[in-house]
Amino acid sequence: MKNHIGITLLVLSTMVGPAWATNRYVEAGAPSPAHSWSSHDYERFAEMLSAADAPLPCFDSSDGEVILRRLLDTENFNRVLAVDQPLTERLQESLALLQGANKVLQLYGRNTPQRPELHREIANQLAFTLRACSVAVHLLNQFAGEIPRDENYDGRMAEVHRMLKGLEEAYAGAEQSLSERDFFKHQDRSLILAAMAEAYPTLQMGFTEEFKISLREKLERRKRHLRDPKDIEAVDRICDFEAHQRAEASYRRPNRYVELGAPSPSAPWTHRDYRRFVRALSAGEAPLPTFADADGEAILERLLDAENFAPVISSDTPLTDQLGEVAGVLKSTNELIQLYSQDTPQRADYHREVASQLAFTLKTSAVLLYIVDKILPSLPEDSSVRHDLRSLTRSLEEAYSAVEGALDLRDYFNKQDRALLLTTMAEVYPNLQSGFSERYKEELRSRLLQRQERIHDPVAKEAIDRICDFQASEE
């Protein structure tokens, strides 16, 4: 067959520096498929395949299928997407993983003259390579946004562009492989096309305009010969330039807060990002972000996004580190609310921003208590740490009470703000109430029922009912 696959292999190689014990490949030195693989595991697997007498793994073999499923599992990307690790380390790991996967693909490419039946395995690896390239571009874009504008800026950006160019050529190689009709079956080509469509929204941000135009022309020509509706849909998704350009404009549009030192809103924030954002605002070089401003809205939506907790809570990070991460976010959010409060006499129109941040502190408090409840059973009753955590739990009661008190600021918060606060109180109450004293819960119920008599908004009334009904069901 034509050596279009080799183009992808060459580009990637120059771009970046159950009963598992009975598996023949594990016995020959392959990493265990029982856990996700790191870049070192990919390298180790490639070395094993190069040295072993065993044939290349294929889906028709039970041992081979188990290994291939692990090789192609996107779960292997989890560690490079975990935002609790430094960005530079995650980027290096991503590129190294891509290089290791490419070495394995090279071994299959060399064997195609003797083993044309490997078409399915190669197609799946090409699809996985596109997904790995997409992860790399995601991290490269973050890295480029954080490069300091010092004397090394131009050199570092040139290196970023060199890597992006390599990913562009890898995508071109995948597109050219669609022409290998004598090697790839219809299902293989459909798989590659689907992966191209899946990865394109991210990868195209690093593509030149010339390449995008050329790619669209090639795919439009291919589309005339396609019969499978799924293949046609995949081509249409790639060729929808207008939608992709809008996404790119939103992704790349300079944000004045980022230019002043705030973290990029394009990825989840850690507690360090929150602290960095508060420092940038404290410098006073820009007005506090508002929802009425496009730059401010992008920053605030990231600030208030519960997705920021997902990589921490779902990772293997020790519980104490998870607690420190979420507590750090809560501390910075409270400092941010203070900045807005100091400016309130001059800017009464901050009511929506402050209400949204108060609601976010409640959600953060619920996550914090969730972690505390997981830590407490492992601590001795007389432990000082247990005492400190109990004190922390009591402080969450005070935070909940403070948000309830904000409902009385009718001259500041409008109806929508108060409804947001009440609905968030109702949302987090089942989680937070376990740390509340019985006396506080009784007093809260009494106050809310009195408040409900003065409320006409059905959304707010329903939120109070949810809190009080939960209390009644507990009793």
Query: At residue 226, what is the residue type?
Result: L
Q: Greatest CA span in the chain, whole angstroms?
A: 82
Length of the chain: 475
Cα dihedral value 277, 279, 285, 287, nearest 10: 50
Q: What is the pLDDT of residue 258?
A: 85
Cβ-proximal residues to 369 (8 Å cutoff; 6+ apart), any chain? 393, 396, 431, 432, 434, 435
Q: Is the dihedral of CA 66, 67, 68, 72 positive or negative?
A: positive
- Provide the 10 A C-beta neighbour count for residue 253: 11
Q: How far apart are CA 93 and CA 366, in angstroms?
A: 33
Query: At residue 253, what is the residue type?
Result: R
Owner of token pair 């009784």? 442
Q: What is the pLDDT of residue 133?
A: 92
Q: How far apart are CA 464 and CA 473, in angstroms?
A: 14
Angle at which helix 351-375 crosses helix 319-343, to 10 degrees, equals 160
Q: What is the pLDDT of residue 382?
A: 80
Angle at which helix 87-111 crosses helix 119-145, to 10 degrees, equals 160
Answer yes or no: are the C-beta atoms of 200 and 167 closer than 8 Å: no
Provide the residue-wise pLDDT of the chain in tens; the chain has 475 residues.
444 444 344 444 444 434 444 788 998 889 999 889 999 999 999 999 988 677 899 999 889 999 999 999 988 988 888 767 788 899 999 999 999 999 999 998 887 666 778 899 999 999 999 999 999 988 888 888 788 877 888 888 888 888 888 888 889 999 999 998 888 899 999 999 999 998 888 888 888 888 888 998 899 899 888 888 889 988 988 888 655 565 555 555 578 888 888 888 877 888 889 999 998 888 877 788 998 888 888 899 999 988 888 777 766 678 888 888 888 999 999 999 988 888 655 566 788 999 999 999 999 999 888 888 888 888 888 878 888 888 887 888 888 999 999 999 888 888 889 999 999 999 999 988 888 888 988 999 999 999 888 888 888 889 899 888 876 555 5
pTM of the model: 0.52
Q: How far apart are CA 149 and CA 258, in angstroms?
A: 13
Distances (CA, A) of 351 to 125, 169, 438, 443: 52, 50, 32, 27
* 256-295: b (≥16 Cβ within 10 Å) or e: bbbeeebbbbbbbbbbbbbbbbbebbeeeebebbbeeeeb
Q: What is the pLDDT of residue 247?
A: 56
The alpha carbons of the chain give a radius of gyration, in whole angstroms, of 27
Q: What is the pLDDT of residue 343?
A: 63
Q: How far apart are CA 125 and CA 423, in angstroms?
A: 47
Query: At residue 175, what is the residue type?
Result: E
- So where are the chain's domains? 4-252, 256-474
Distances (CA, A) of 429 to 204, 398, 408, 439, 461: 44, 13, 19, 15, 15
